[in-house]
Homo-oligomer: A and B are copies of this chain.
């Protein structure tokens, strides 16, 4: 390549300045070439492109986004990469395919910062510059005003501010508890979710409503905080099953804590479901792979993610139309972790 001789080696990242210098033009011209703007002589265009290829230059998304208004990047803001958000991400990803938008998932919960309001922080850090719009996964607070279009999945306040996508938390929890009741259980414990999340309260509501409908007194001693996490689910279950009068069934507010509960039961030498029934919520992939396989309430996570992306697109292109509240339905999936209680 004839340009070779004139191109000094560049250390680190190649910047627009490096290209400009090597091609003997100004950075403005390089910028025009990179963005296909009019007003560049064919010869100049060729020369710049040759250097660009030679050096392997790519415009920095960061620097460009600081100047531009539109980036064609959608942000998905999550607390961390775990099964639940991963499932949503797959759905979002499939909807994003072919739209020309790029996806950026950001897990911005620093352990030292308050968990509450992490999404406001992440959004502030990315919006207005890097991303054109955002999908908030299980946000903890309501954000009335945002600088970019937003869709919230399973949000704290349900209706109200931004567009939302959720599924039937109360109905699901009722279905789950009803299933346990129909098997003959009466002492049903509940491993509550993260109390800063609305879904957690709704599921507890469903649990209580179901008990009440069956004429069973609510026993606060049977409700512990599973935190939506495997570790906490295991620990609370250890406590629960160690009592003199343990529950015969446990409804964990999500699959992860249910999986922890199964682990705890097995550690104590108990059989699931023979000695204790355990039921989860969400139907993450791991639910179908546990031993025994987990009975749970399946949320249509894939569809929820895809729908959220579509609603965001509507807001981005068609104005306010995407500002809806979408409510998708789930269904009970009976696998192996539930059975009638032992009669003794």
- Residue numbers of A with Cβ under 8 A of B are 12-14, 56-63, 65-66, 80-83, 86-87, 89-90, 92-94, 96-98, 100, 102-108, 110-111, 120-121, 124-130, 147, 284-286, 288-289
Contact = CB atoms under 8 A, between A and B. Distances in A.
Contacts of A65: 62
B104 A110 contact: no
Contacts of A87: 86
A110 B106 CA distance: 19
B105 A93 contact: no
B103 A107 contact: yes
A103 to B, nearest CB: 4
A58 B285 contact: no
Contacts of A288: 285, 288-289
17 contacts: A13-B124, A13-B128, A13-B147, A56-B124, A60-B126, A62-B65, A62-B129, A81-B90, A81-B92, A81-B94, A82-B90, A83-B90, A86-B90, A102-B108, A104-B105, A105-B106, A288-B288
Contacts of A127: 13
> What 3 A-B pairs have minimum CB-CB distances, sorted nearest first?
A285-B285, A81-B93, A13-B128
A83 B83 CA distance: 11
A133 to B, nearest CB: 14
B125 A59 contact: yes
B100 A60 contact: no
